[in-house]
Amino acid sequence: MPMRGVALAAVLLPSLALAQAHQHGRSTVMITFEGKRLAIEVVAPGPDIVGYERPPQSAAEQQALAAAVALLKTPSALIDLPAAARCTLDEAEVTVEGYDAPAAGAPAAAHTEFEAAYMFTCVDPSAIRVIGFPFFAKFPNSAELEVTLVTDRGPTVYEVTRDKPRVDRGNALWRWLTGR
């Protein structure tokens, strides 16, 4: 590998890490409509999900980590899609970052994160007007979700809070008028 490439990577990495730093209490949810398919991606700061942000230091913490992963693989417990849409889960994938013990001599990760990706097939995706987030009930440290709905008309961002844990897309006329 040329030395120049190594030096460049060393300069770029810290600023990249800074740009991607998350805000504790705030997760992001991306919901993409593609015909009958519905893709949902959740990125959550580690402390929101398990209450700690470093490798587990006890059996209880290890257990909390495993329980969180199991819960994240069950999106029906976290995201409430209207029954009328008749969505079925095709895939659920959960990625955990920063909870592994660092290699000898290496620093622990500054932040930890959970990422979950779900793929649904829905008989009637147009029935998805209100989306509820029992997510907050399952993860007491979470306070806000930044939810982006992506349709063929583009993205719309909703700020969802513990006090009002739902996205309401309004009625069809309102959606047509606003382009949402």
Site for Zn ion in 117-136 (CB under 5 A): none
56 vs 82, which CB is nearer to Zn ion?
A: 56
Q: Does 26 help bind Zn ion (rule: CB under 5 A)?
A: no
Nearest to 117 by CA among 73, 159, 150: 73
- Which region among 8-16, 54-62, 104-112, 159-167 touches Zn ion (by CB under 5 A)? 104-112
111 lines the binding site for Zn ion (CB under 5 A): yes
Contact by Cβ (8 Å): 124, 84: yes
Question: What is the closest distance, in whole angstroms, from the C-beta atom of residue 22 to Zn ion in the complex?
Answer: 6
Which single residue is written with the structure tokens 């590998």?
1
Taking the complex as a whole, the smallest distance from the CB of residue 146 to Zn ion amounts, in Å, to 16
Closer residue to Zn ion (CB): 120 or 135: 135
In sequence order, what E strands does 19-178 have?
Answer: 26-34, 37-45, 87-97, 113-122, 130-132, 144-151, 154-161, 166-168
Report the residue number, 21 or 83, with the smaller CB distance to Zn ion: 21
Residue 54 near Zn ion by CB under 5 A: no
Query: How far apart, in Å, are the Cα atoms of 149 and each of 116, 122, 133, 152, 174?
Result: 16, 16, 14, 10, 16
Long-range contacts, 102-108 (Cβ 8 Å, 24+):
102/55, 108/54, 108/55
Which is closer to Zn ion, CB of 82 or CB of 98? 98
Per the CB < 8 A criterion, the answer to whether 116 and 173 are in contact is: no
Q: How far is the CB of 53 from Zn ion (least distance, A)?
A: 5
Q: Which stretch binds Zn ion (CB under 5 A): 98-106, 108-116, 145-153, 163-171?
A: 108-116
Binding site residues, Zn ion, CB under 5 A = 45, 111
